[in-house]
């Protein structure tokens, strides 16, 4: 599926248990089609490590998928998305989350 997505990378938190609780119980449930009109898929990933065994720079990565860049932009600008974005920033105790906008060039096997 070619499309567009928002990628949110959360730095390793100061308190993993507190972050995990806030992320899974409060934040992830806020990522809905009601708050992000046009969202097609939400993927929440927990980073387990790095190939060389060093500590990972990021603890969680979230991906919000949309059919097009126009759909992504409309959803991100919607009033219902603003509290979700603010919550993402407020729970990120390891520093501000990194937010990227990406367009996919998908290949299916």
User: How many other CB atoms are found less than 10 A from the CB of residue 35?
Assistant: 18
Confidence (pLDDT) at 101: 97
pLDDT at 1 over 70: no
Q: Is position 99 within any domain? A: yes
Calpha distance 55→69 (Å, rounded): 33
pTM attached to this predicted model: 0.91
What's the rounded mean pLDDT across residues 21-41?
97
The dihedral region occupied by 38, where left means phi > 0, alpha psi between -120 and 50, and beta the remainder, is: left
The answer to whether 30 touches 8, Cβ cutoff 8 Å, is no
Total domains present in the chain: 1
What's the rounded mean pLDDT across residues 62-89?
96
Mean pLDDT of the chain: 95
Q: Is 31 helix (H, G, I), strand (E, B) or coil?
A: coil
Q: Is position 27 within any domain? A: yes
Contacts of residue 99, Cβ cutoff 8 Å, sequence gap at least 6: 6, 7, 8, 9
Residue 13 belongs to domain spanning: 4-103
pLDDT at 25 over 60: yes
How far from the centroid of its chain's Cα atoms is residue 42's Cα? 8
Q: Is position 45 within any domain? A: yes
Confidence class for position 81, pLDDT limits 50, 70, 90: very high
CATH number where 61 lies: 3.30.70.100
Q: Is position 108 within any domain? A: no
Helix (H) or strand (E) holding 42: strand 39-46
Confidence (pLDDT) at 108: 81
Query: Which residue reads 């990227």 in tokens?
Result: 100
Confidence (pLDDT) at 106: 75
Q: Is position 61 within any domain? A: yes
Q: Is position 109 within any domain? A: no
Calpha distance 3→44 (Å, rounded): 18
Tens of pLDDT, residues 54-67 = 989 999 999 999 99
């Amino acid at each position: 599926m070619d499309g567009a997505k928002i990628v949110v990378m959360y730095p390793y938190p100061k308190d993993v248990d507190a972050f995990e609780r806030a992320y899974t119980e409060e934040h992830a449930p806020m990522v809905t089609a009601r708050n992000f009109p046009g969202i097609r898929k939400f993927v929440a990933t927990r980073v387990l490590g790095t190939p060389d065994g060093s500590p990972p720079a990021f603890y969680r990565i979230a991906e919000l998928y949309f059919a097009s860049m126009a759909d992504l932009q409309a959803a991100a600008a919607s009033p219902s998305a603003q509290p979700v974005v603010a919550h993402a920033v407020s729970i990120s105790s390891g520093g501000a989350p990194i937010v990227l906008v990406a367009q996919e060039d998908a290949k299916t096997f």
